[in-house]
């Protein structure tokens, strides 16, 4: 008996759910049917895949086979999605995960051009911090991610742009008054609201300022809300602060050496759906012709 995709899906589901009963629920089958299919798979392999009858722990070989089976099932499901989309005269779907600053200042013109070119594509966009983007990509819950990700395992990773850090405060804040030569020492006396990007700044003069901070706010939206309220100041990359925010000032630092580098990451090219390949091609073209970073 040859190995069928249903056997692989059954095996993967049992591993992920941890029991025959839960796997049966996920597959819409009876536990006995799942047990029989799993036995056929093990018989074909010729060795046990689980250490115990409870199916809660894989053997060493079972773990290796699971990784291969999981990749094949994912590839099969992606292929089915493409085929079904083509049968409806569609092109497929595109799942993007990006940082908030990219979602606001970089993505809109790219998506506008993309949807004009491929009107049948379903586009799903979620914004989150860079750590979450990496996890979503590694868990195969997104096709393309854009954020401060320098290492992405087996994923393809390409630098997209970098921008400098600066102090962000209210426009009526004392720092915003004639501070053309702002330095780290000038912000020491003010309350700093830290954020997840602060760890990218390794300037020695910034370290004691960050160490004194008693507030950490990961969300850029919440962070800027607190700045508007006058709770304190913060430090962000240039792109995170839109020029349209009239009540917020971005103040370049004369002695800052750190920059935030943004990468675009994707699943390996051969595993990408057509829509994702076209999006990568478009964003690369816009980077080359200079239309991608007009907000910077």
Separation of alpha carbons 214 and 99, rounded Å? 24
User: Rounded to whole angstroms, how far apart are CA atoms 178 and 256?
Assistant: 18
- Model confidence, pTM: 0.62
Q: Cα 177–253–216 angle (5° rounding)? A: 95
CB of 1 closer than 8 Å to CB of 44:
yes
Residue pLDDT, tens place only, 220-278: 889 999 999 999 999 999 888 876 677 899 998 887 777 888 999 998 876 777 888 88
Q: Which residues contact 70 (CB under 8 A, 6 or more apart)?
A: 12
pLDDT digits (tens, 9 = 90+) for 26-65: 889 998 999 999 999 988 888 888 887 777 789 999 899 9
Q: pLDDT of 154-173, one tens digit each?
A: 788 889 998 889 999 999 99
End-to-end Cα separation, the chain, in angstroms: 60
Tell me, rounded to whole angstroms, the distance of Cα 252 from its chain centroid. Answer: 28
| Stretch (H or E) spanning 208 | helix 207-211
Q: How far is CA 276 from CA 44, 106, 263, 271, 272, in A?
A: 36, 17, 16, 10, 6
**Helical H segments across 88-180, by residue range:** 100-105, 107-117, 130-138
Give the position of tokens 């051969």. Answer: 270
Mean pLDDT of all residues in 274-294: 88
Q: Per the structure block, which two tokens stand in for 196?
A: 């997840």
Q: Residue 244: its pLDDT value, please?
A: 60
């Amino acid at each position: 008996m040859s190995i069928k995709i249903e056997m692989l899906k059954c095996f993967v589901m049992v591993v992920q759910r941890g029991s025959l009963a839960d796997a049966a629920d996920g597959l819409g089958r009876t536990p006995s049917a799942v047990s029989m299919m799993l036995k056929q798979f093990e018989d074909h392999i010729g060795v046990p895949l689980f250490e115990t009858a409870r199916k809660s722990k894989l053997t060493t070989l079972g773990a290796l086979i699971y990784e291969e089976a999981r990749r094949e099932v994912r590839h099969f499901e992606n292929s089915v999605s493409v085929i079904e989309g083509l049968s409806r005269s569609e092109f497929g779907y595109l799942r993007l995960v990006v940082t908030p600053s990219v979602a606001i200042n970089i993505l809109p013109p790219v998506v506008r051009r993309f949807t004009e070119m491929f009107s049948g594509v379903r586009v799903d966009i979620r914004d989150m911090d860079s750590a979450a983007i990496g996890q979503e990509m590694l868990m195969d819950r997104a096709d393309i991610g854009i954020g401060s990700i320098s290492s992405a395992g087996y994923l393809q990773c390409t630098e997209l742009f970098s921008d400098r850090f600066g102090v962000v405060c209210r426009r009526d804040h004392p720092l915003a008054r004639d501070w053309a030569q702002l330095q780290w020492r000038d912000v020491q006396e003010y309350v700093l609201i830290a954020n997840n990007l602060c760890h990218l700044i390794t300037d020695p003069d910034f370290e004691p300022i960050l160490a004194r901070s008693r507030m950490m706010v990961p969300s850029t939206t919440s962070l800027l809300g607190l700045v508007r309220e006058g709770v304190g100041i913060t430090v962000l990359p240039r792109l995170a602060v839109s020029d349209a925010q009239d009540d917020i000032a971005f103040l370049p630092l004369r002695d800052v050496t750190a920059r935030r580098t943004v990468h675009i990451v994707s699943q390996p090219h051969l595993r990408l759906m057509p829509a994702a390949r076209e999006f990568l091609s478009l964003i690369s073209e816009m980077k080359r012709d200079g239309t991608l970073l007009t907000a910077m």
